[in-house]
Copies of this chain bind each other. A is one copy, B any other.
Amino acid sequence: MNTTIADIGEKELLNRLKKFMRNGQINDDTAEITSFNKKLLINTDLVIENIHFSEVTTSPEDIGWKAIASNVSDLICSGSEKIISFSVGLVVPPNTNLQWVEGLYTGMKAAMNEFGGEIIGGDCSSGTNKMVSITAIGELSSLRLHRGNALPGDYIVTSGQHGLSRLGLALLTSEQLPNEVKLSQSLTKRAIKAHQRPSVPQEALKTLIKCKPKSLPWRAAGTDSSDGLLAAIEGICTSSECQAVLSQSSLPKDPDWPKNKIWDEWCLNGGEDYELVLSLPKDWANIFKSKLNSIQIIGHIKKGKPNIFWDNFEEIENYNSKRFNHFQS
């Protein structure tokens, strides 16, 4: 049961991983993809031990799932309706259990079964810390979502609740909660699922594309909220050179979410939410909201130097300093 990678060697490791990959891929130096008459979107995500996950709190299956989900989320939130393939770079210390690696790929496969795509190749090597680098490829739909496409007058729209993953992490690590509240059982469940097995807004993108009013061009700004809701909105404001006004009463919170400023903070800056954050023409936004229950209009875009305000004109405090910075000392 405790076979390590060093015990079996590189060749046998690849042999064991065969079943997770496209047929025949192991015998090939490179992978081939065909996508006639379609533009492709490419995204690379790094997942690193002790930075993005701790082996103590996260199972290899969940790490694998999340690595695929975070990548797919970026593709979807740039306008990819169809996920084609993944190339996986794996770094593990030689004393890593084979079981851990197989767990990682089992989680990746489960996510691919849900979201689409297949592993077409990659590379592996030993290293001091575990690391997974995934490059995902998807086909672009008729709608290319850019952070830089927002225009004054747009509504700010999101595909779902925010803060759940952050709460899930707190529950899983027995972290002290922001204030003493009794959480509903169903919220607890949703939060843990959001952290361990996050979904991606595939359905929302499909609906968004289908419901575009014919009179409007294919113009919408979009990004995902993997770095947090405010970070996503900030990205749109900066790239589109405009301001966002957020409705304090319309924050995209779970129905059971505790009412408190400190809890709002997790909704705004929790991160790892993997929802679509869009800037849409009003008509499109209203139709979109009518088509899917999860869709929420949370504010609007106006002219001005990039910034985010509440609808009572207060500037949102210090949000910038709360953003995730991988190199923060």
Chain A interface residues toward B at CB < 8 A: 5-6, 9-11, 13, 27-37, 39-46, 48, 50-52, 74-75, 77-78, 80, 85, 87-89, 91, 94, 120-129, 131, 133, 135, 137, 140, 144, 146-148, 223-224, 239, 325-329
Contact = CB atoms under 8 A, between A and B. Distances in A.
Nearest to A5: B327
Contact of A40 (B13, B35, B326): B35
B31 A43 contact: yes
A128 B78 CA distance: 31
Contact of A326 (B39, B48, B125, B133): B125
Given A13-B327, A51-B125, A326-B10, A31 B37 contact: no
Nearest to A238: B27
A67 B174 CA distance: 42
A35 B10 CA distance: 34
A91 B131 contact: yes
Contacts of A11: 325
Nearest to A79: B30
A87 B40 CA distance: 13
B33 A42 contact: yes
Contact of A121 (B5, B30, B42): B42
Contacts of A88: 44
Contacts of A28: 78, 146-147
27 contacts: A6-B328, A9-B325, A9-B327, A9-B328, A10-B326, A11-B325, A27-B147, A30-B43, A30-B75, A31-B42, A31-B43, A32-B42, A33-B39, A43-B121, A44-B89, A44-B133, A44-B135, A46-B89, A51-B126, A87-B135, A89-B133, A91-B131, A94-B327, A94-B329, A128-B129, A131-B131, A135-B135
Looking at A85, A87, A124, the one whose CB has the most chain B CB atoms below 10 A away is A87
Contacts of A31: 41-43
A37 B39 contact: no
B127 A51 contact: yes
B77 A29 contact: yes
Contact of A42 (B9, B30, B325): B30
